[in-house]
Amino acid sequence: MAGLVPMLKQSTLVHLCFAISFFTSGLIINTVQCVLYLGLKPFNKRLYRTIGYYLCYSFYSQLVFLADWWSNTTLNVYVSDEDIKYCGSEHVLLLMNHTYEIDWLIGWMFCEKVRVLGNCKAYAKKVIQYIPTIGWAWKFAEFVFLERSFEKDREIIGRQINEIYDYPDPVWLLLNAEGTRFTEQKHEASVKFAEEKGMVPLKHHLIPRTKGFTASLPYLRKKCPAVLDIQLAISKDSAVKPTIFNILNGKPITAHMCVRRIPTATLPESEEGAAAWLHELFREKDRMQDSFHRHGNFFTDSGITERPLLTLHRRPATLLNTAFWAAATLTPMLYYLMKLLFSGEILYFSIGAGIIFAFYMLMVKAIGMSKISKGSSYGAQQKNGGHSPDHRPAGATAGSSETAKDK
């Protein structure tokens, strides 16, 4: 029995069942979202968003189930007693490092535990909204889709922030200021760019892009009381690498997350000051990441005040939700697929095999999509090392108060 469970978790057939359940439930949820978008939102936006929260939660939590229950992934959260009181009770902008293939999933684990998963949103590429299931769900959930033209995006950012922070329940909006996931090749380009511009190179991050943040800040001040800085780290010596494929195969990962709440009122008001503040924040994050890899914690030599370890237990809601969708989708789907496959008719057999192959390809595509940034900031890839030319010199004053940053 001990050897059977790992075998099942690594079975392609079981993975295929996950894919069938996830994508079928996604299409059902998309259909309900579309009906509500056309028939309810124009008349009662508040009720539309309340129902939308549960629809998105039901969809996203199937992926959180894979991390929490299927792979038994552990999330260690370091946060002060004061800051955790606000988590899940207010609108926030999330600033998170984009280092790992699964950092979005680890972030969703934290969001689920503080009960804001259904209202998680992000800055994303406009093309993503056309992807069936996940892209359509994000479109109906009013994500901030950017066109990579700053003049257009400035207007989109302002309009969408005003919209989503008008939700009846707390909304967490993710901005990956690095714009793309960390790789060695991109890091080399980032270091070269920093040196050319007279900036301080970062060891563990890419130089942040500032335009998305500075364009958002005036609107955030009106409706968003805080920014949450999230630093995610996974040991380089971990036997299980942080990939979606390992999660799908049921292999446990241990992740560490430091959460710091920064009141929006403490951020610089000028665009230059806000840009410099963001650069200084990433220099702090870089010291935290360096401290983690050298000493196993974020605080030893980073200069950041130590936060206590908080244990957030997995909730049964994700397990029950996934079991419900598995029963609701797999039972009729597998029944009719088996009838097609064993009908004896070549045409019906081909249809059944084609459907199975389609779900398999969707699963493979979804694993590949996990490598795409889910919260990119504004800034198309440039030839100068993949960064927008909107950065301030490293010596610029950050302009943030003592309450905004640890000294």
Which strand ranges, in their side-by-side order, compose the sheet holding 254-263? Answer: 144-146, 120-125, 172-175, 92-96, 226-233, 254-263, 74-78, 309-310
Residue 381 has a pLDDT of 37
Q: How far apart are CA 109 and CA 329, in angstroms?
A: 24
Q: How far apart are CA 237 and CA 340, in angstroms?
A: 48
**CATH code of the domain covering residue 114:** 3.40.1130
Count: domains in the chain: 1
Residue 1 has a pLDDT of 55
* Tens digit of each residue's pLDDT, the chain (407 residues): 567 878 888 888 888 888 889 988 999 999 999 999 999 999 999 999 999 999 999 999 999 999 999 999 999 999 999 999 999 999 999 999 999 999 999 999 999 999 999 999 999 888 889 988 889 999 999 999 988 777 888 888 989 999 989 898 999 999 999 988 898 999 999 999 999 988 889 999 999 999 999 999 999 988 899 999 999 999 998 889 999 889 999 999 999 999 999 999 999 999 999 999 999 999 999 999 999 999 999 999 999 999 999 988 899 999 999 999 999 998 887 777 777 777 766 676 676 667 666 766 666 665 555 554 444 444 433 334 334 434 333 333 333 333 333 43
Residue 406 has a pLDDT of 42
Q: At what angle do helices 271-295 and 211-223 cross, to 10 degrees?
A: 100
* C-alpha to C-alpha distances, 263 to 77, 220, 282, nearest whole angstrom: 20, 11, 17
Q: Let me know if residue 16 belongs to a domain.
A: no
92 is in which domain, residue-wise?
Answer: 73-317
Q: Let me know if residue 10 belongs to a domain.
A: no
Bridge partner list, 229: 95, 260
Q: Let me know if residue 322 belongs to a domain.
A: no
Residue 356 has a pLDDT of 67
HEC-encoded secondary structure of the chain: CCCHHHHHHCCHHHHHHHHHHHHHHHHHHHHHHHHHHHHCCCCCHHHHHHHHHHHHHHHHHHHHHHHHHHCCCEEEEECCHHHHHHCCCCCEEEEECCCCCCHHHHHHHHHHHCCCHHHEEEEEEHHHHHCCCHHHHHHHCCCEEECCCHHHHHHHHHHHHHHHCCCCCCCEEEEECCCCCCCHHHHHHHHHHHHHCCCCCCCCCCCCCCHHHHHHHHHHHHHCCEEEEEEEECCCCCCCCCCHHHHHCCCCCEEEEEEEEEEHHHCCCCHHHHHHHHHHHHHHHHHHHHHHHHHCCCCCCCCCCCCCEECCCCCHHHHHHHHHHHHHHHHHHHHHHHHHHCCCCHHHHHHHHHHHHHHHHHHHHHHHHCCCCCCECCCCCCCCCCCCCCCCCCCCCCCCCCCCCCC
* C-alpha to C-alpha distances, 129 to 35, 180, 375, 399, nearest whole angstrom: 17, 18, 13, 37
The radius of gyration of the chain from alpha carbons, rounded to an integer in Å, stands at 22
Q: Rounded to 10 degrees, what is the CA torsion of 115, 374, 380, 141?
A: -60
Residue 386 has a pLDDT of 39
